[in-house]
Amino acid sequence: MKPLLICLLAGLVSACGFEPLGLWPALLAALVVLLGLVVRAPTLRSALARGWWFGVGHFTLGLNWIATSFTYQANMPAWLGWIAVVLLALYLAVYPAIAAGLAWRHGRSDPAKFVLIFAAAWTLSEWLRAALFTGFAWNPLGVALLPTSVARLAAWVGTYGLSAVALLIAGALALLLVRERRAALLLLGAIGGATLLAAALAGGAPQPRPIALRIVQPNIGQEDKWQEGSAERHLQRLALMSGYPGDEPRLLLWPEAAVTSPLEDGRPDPFYRARALQLQRALARLLGPRDLLLTGGVTLRSTDGIDATSATNSIFAIGRAGVIARYDKAHLVPYGEYLPMRPILSAIGLSRLAPGDVDFDPGPGPQTIALPLVGKVGFQLCYEIIFSGEVVERGNRPAFLFNPSNDAWFGGWGPPQHIAQARLRAIEEGLPVLRSTPTGISAVIDADGRLLNSLGWRQAGVIDTLLPAPRPPTLFARFGNVLPLLLALLLAAAAIAVRRKQR
């Protein structure tokens, strides 16, 4: 079988290491195959091609949920979704190709050096993938290690550093196959020792705070959510599932865009502003005197003095007296929340995947907002949670992160992948993450990334529990993505040391 075809197949197998399949040994096995094929490549061009074809298989299968999202856009045929998946995979495969090319160019003379360079290069390539062209940080390799104890190392080196660890484990297995036992045992021993040390330093789980919370998952699908005339019916469902206020204060959490009618309306007609204010008051009447509701909603803006020209995807904090604060989503989804090159794409019949004729404006970025009942809260709206090192306002640390989301248009593969990445943010930052989604997966994630409570896909229900407590700031929380980049430099320096020892 030709090497390029084997790389493509290995890439497909590697995607099975992520949720919903969670076969992380399959990922490691696929990486062993990739390492072996790249190091044997006869030329740099061949090495780049092998890394690229691996990436094509990896991203095409892993991102198949994007094809499902296209089925919710009436003007687009379903087959166009698969074209989008393949085109995106063809671009994203450039990053594994870069890592393969760097490893071949600088490390092929020695197996141990090759492994170290590959891990360093892969770390850098994932960081670049998350940063360039607005970034697409979905499913870095480290996410697949979440079911293992090694995932604890994300608190030290972040997700991109954890991806380097995945490469090093696979590299150690590859070294065993070529009888480089000493180097393999050194790598595995270092990773095992670091994992045990991280577990020992973490200590016991912090006790929850005595604050009652209720997460509501109404199971309102994307096909129903934006139907004309459905807003009041859906709001009644959310209100009924939220229950009646009692004597004790509660924190209520609703999903992204749970309220589809504008909660703030900047159009000049007073009718629209009055209707938004009436809606705010209706939500406030659902609450007890000390209750707090955090809900996804939208605002409309007008710059032409006539009609709505833009919007924000927002989280509203609402108390008995009305709206207390608002967070606006900063990291928007291309084609979902805004349409790049709108005049050209609109002219050929393409539009946003999400309903609406106006684009969303980005907010200022991660924010911590002090609120009654719970204190400091950090907000990450849906897609934003996947960006390692970019979820907390530095210097103003919250007690937990609220991550409302709408995964209803992500098919069966998207939601479990999404929550896995939210769990890694909890480990990295040492903060609980609370998720409320319309169709799943809603969850309470503790500061160690463990699922304390969850509601499955397409399941209606509520989660009643106490608010988890944060841990002290982790090493990653203090220094962010400087740490995985330093790890990459350390691995490169170790590779140079290997070369000098050879000489």
Q: Which residues are catalytic?
A: 256, 329, 382
Dist CA 294 CA 317 (whole Å): 5
CA distance 242 to 244: 7
State whether residue 317 is helix, strand or coil. strand
Alpha carbons 352 and 71: distance in angstroms, whole number: 12
Q: For residues 470 and 464, what is the distance between their CA atoms, to the nearest angstrom?
A: 19
Residues in the chain: 503
Q: Where are the alpha helices (DSSP H) in 24-145?
A: 24-39, 44-62, 65-70, 78-92, 94-107, 111-131
Contacts of 337 (CB under 8 A, 6+ apart): 313, 329, 352, 354, 359, 360
* β-sheet bridge partners, residue 264: 299
Q: Tokens representing 482?
A: 């400087």
Of the candidates 479, 388, 9, the one whose C-alpha atom is nearest the C-alpha of residue 164 is 388
Of 159, 61, 68, whose CA–CA distance to 474 is shortest?
159
Q: How many C-beta neighbours within 10 Å does residue 21 have?
A: 14
Beta-carbon count within 10 A of 205 CB: 14
